[in-house]
Amino acid sequence: MIVCLLSAWFLEASAQNNIIDEIVWVVGDEAIYKSEVEEARREGLKHGTQWEGDPYCVIPEQLAVNKLFLNQAELDSIFVSDEDVEAQVDYDMKELMNDFGSEEKIEEYYDGMTIEQIRRRITETRRQGYVINEVRKKIMSKVKVTPAEVRRYVKDMPADEIPSIPTQFEVQILTQEPVIPQEEIDAVKAELRNYIDRAQSGEISFSTLARLYSEDPGSARNGGDLGFFGRGEMVSEFSTVAFNMTDPNKISKIVETEYGYHIIQFVERLGDRVRVRHILRKPRVPMESVNNCLARLDTIANDIRTGNHTFEFCVAAYSQDKDTRNNNGLMSHSSQPGAPGISKYTLDELPPDIARVVNRMHVGEISDPFPVQLNNGKTICAIVKLKNKINGHKANISEDYEILFDIVSSIRQQEALEKWVREKQRTTYVRISEGWNDCDFIYPGWGNY
């Protein structure tokens, strides 16, 4: 997407380098410049892009298609919120800092552009990307696929083209957390209070302390800087404190979250977004606590195996996993935020610690207890029950309707997009300069050359 959306960048780059530019395409009232194509090609090479064809044909055509979408966005008054764009730009800038380690190296990579220029460039790219995506979604939303169409698709498909479905698992889980001794928690809090005293006395900066001691790898190398974020982008305990801070010279009290214990330093506010630094410390879980937790779960597992209680009863009574406790322990995941949960997992989709256990189990079996490393760095203990296993097979309507429906929907949506582009071509003025029109375009019919 980045390669396709450089139309907002080239004027700044041209001005900076005093390039005498050349118009190579005109789409409606919009020009595509040679420098724009060259910039996209160079960025693509940096990112390892492999073009299907001559990049001097592929890139300007894709830029032209994007201009059709952007033109339609103007006609339909489609806009995107500054908050959505800024959130993505903050993430992009944070990733750049993680990749390069300093602003100086980022500026060097972008051929001497300043950080402010780079941010403007990324902001416009992301804004156009969001707008184009909204236009595409509006076009695709008009596609309605019926069950009869899915059945017809499968019936007409050659046998060797029917997709293969990998082995899938449905897993129920019961978890408990090892007890962290109070003296370990007290030691972590004492460390953080020491950092507060040292920073506020002027002995050492907060950012240096974060680089030295913070256990958040994503921000520690940036001096604890988290960039700008909105209220819903951090866990509530952290956001509540961060958004109530106003003085950069003060450091928060210790904040406890699911990730551990934090201290926070306010940096600046921009509208309804805030920027802070933080230091994260995580109490250590002694092996004795892990073993005690595994022993408790071993007792529960044996209780289930002997028939004293069902797995579902024990989940309700003992599990500390808030995401599955009210669903008999059944694990689920979503293909996208807000989408309904899917209970079927391939091994690759399961957390690695769980996948290793499940792969050796039979349907209905209760596992021995085992430790699980969570994404937030915490270690918990678990037992699982393999509720169901669907062996790998060729897709069929009875077992895989949802998957086949998604495949047919994706095909029909792509067809709708291609049809829209061709229709838009016929009603849009397009001129291609000599030397840029000897191409096998994906969409033939780009005006009269």
Sign of dihedral through CA atoms 380, 386, 387, 393?
positive
- How many domains would you assign to the chain? 3
Q: Is the pLDDT of residue 12 over 70?
A: no
Query: Do residues 270 and 299 share a domain?
Result: no
Same domain, 174 and 250: no
For the stretch 137-154, pLDDT in tens is 999 999 999 999 999 998
Tell whether 205 is covered by a domain: yes
Tell me the pLDDT band of 338, cut-offs 50, 70 and 90. low
Question: Cβ–Cβ contacts within 10 Å for residue 22, how many?
Answer: 12
In a domain, 338, yes or no: yes
Which amino acid, one-letter code, is at 223? G
- Judgement on whether residues 14 and 98 belong to the same structural domain of the protein: yes
Give mean pLDDT, residues 108-136: 90
Range of the domain at 25: 3-144+411-432
**pLDDT, tens digit, for every residue of 41-89?**
988 887 788 888 899 999 999 999 999 999 999 999 988 888 788 888 8
C-alpha dist (Å) from residue 189 to 109, 279, 352:
40, 12, 32
Provide the residue count of the chain.
449
Assigned domain for 27 exists: yes
Q: Average pLDDT of the chain?
A: 89
pLDDT score for 172: 97
Chain CA centroid to CA 435, Å: 40
- DSSP code per residue over 327-358: GTTB--B-SSTTSPPB--B-GGGS-HHHHHHH
**162 occurs within a structural domain:** no
Percent of the chain at pLDDT > 90 equals 64
Q: Is 152 part of a structural domain of the chain? A: no
Q: List the single range of 103-112, 290-299, 403-412, 440-449 with lowest mean pLDDT.
A: 440-449
* pLDDT for res 88: 86
Residue range 331-345: average pLDDT? 76
Answer whether residue 428 is part of any domain. yes
Q: Which of 127-136, 227-236, 302-311 has the lowest mean pLDDT?
A: 227-236
For residue 210, what are its two tokens?
A: 């974060």
Q: Any idea what the CATH number is for the domain that residue 226 is in? A: 3.10.50.40
If asked whether residues 85 and 11 sit together in one domain, one would say yes
Domain boundary among 281, 308, 323: 281
Q: 174-224, pLDDT tens digit by residue?
A: 999 999 999 999 999 999 999 999 999 999 999 999 999 999 988 898 899
Instruction: Write out the E strands in 20-100.
Output: 23-27, 30-33
- Shared-domain flag, residues 136 and 9: yes
Do 350 and 427 belong to one domain?
no
> Please, which pLDDT band fits residue 3 given cuts at 50, 70 and 90?
very low
